[in-house]
Amino acid sequence: EPEVTQTPSHQVTQMGQEVILRCVPISNHLYFYWYRQILGQKVEFLVSFYNNEISEKSEIFDDQFSVERPDGSNFTLKIRSTKLEDSAMYFCASSVGEKLFFGSGTQLSVL
């Protein structure tokens, strides 16, 4: 079965550093998403992306965050200057407009 893949599975970074989380959505999917889950809390919506632009973003997705689809296959989330509170599991998801398929997540630890 096709799946969404995310790399790396774990990322450790120093506060203030930039990180890029990578995702390869399912190949014929058109809608792309990033969600995050802070330990012990709900999975929260960050941003959705369609037709090469952001279609919706949450209040969490501030100027420190950006998304890009640099080529036909990758979908990236960049955090420009990481903060301690950015430590979370970040999930990428994609869909053709119906149910979402999630990747296995990238655990980001900001020290």
Partner 1 sequence: GEDVEQSLFLSVREGDSSVINCTYTDSSSTYLYWYKQEPGAGLQLLTYIFSNMDMKQDQRLTVLLNKKDKHLSLRIADTQTGDSAIYFCADQNRDDKIIFGKGTRLHILP
The token duo for 56 is 């919706």
CA-nearest of 12, 32, 26 to 87 is: 12
At 94, which amino acid appears? S
User: Counting contacts by CB under 8 A, is residue 54 touching partner 1?
Assistant: no
Q: Identify the CA nearest to 81 among candidates 102, 110, 52.
A: 110
Among 56, 68, 109, 111, binds partner 1 (CB under 8 A): 56
Residue 51 sits in the site that holds partner 1 (CB under 8 A)? no
Pick between residue 12 and residue 43 the one whose CB is nearest to partner 1.
Answer: 43
List residues near partner 1 by CB under 8 A: 6, 31, 33, 35, 41-45, 48, 56, 91, 93, 95, 97-105, 107
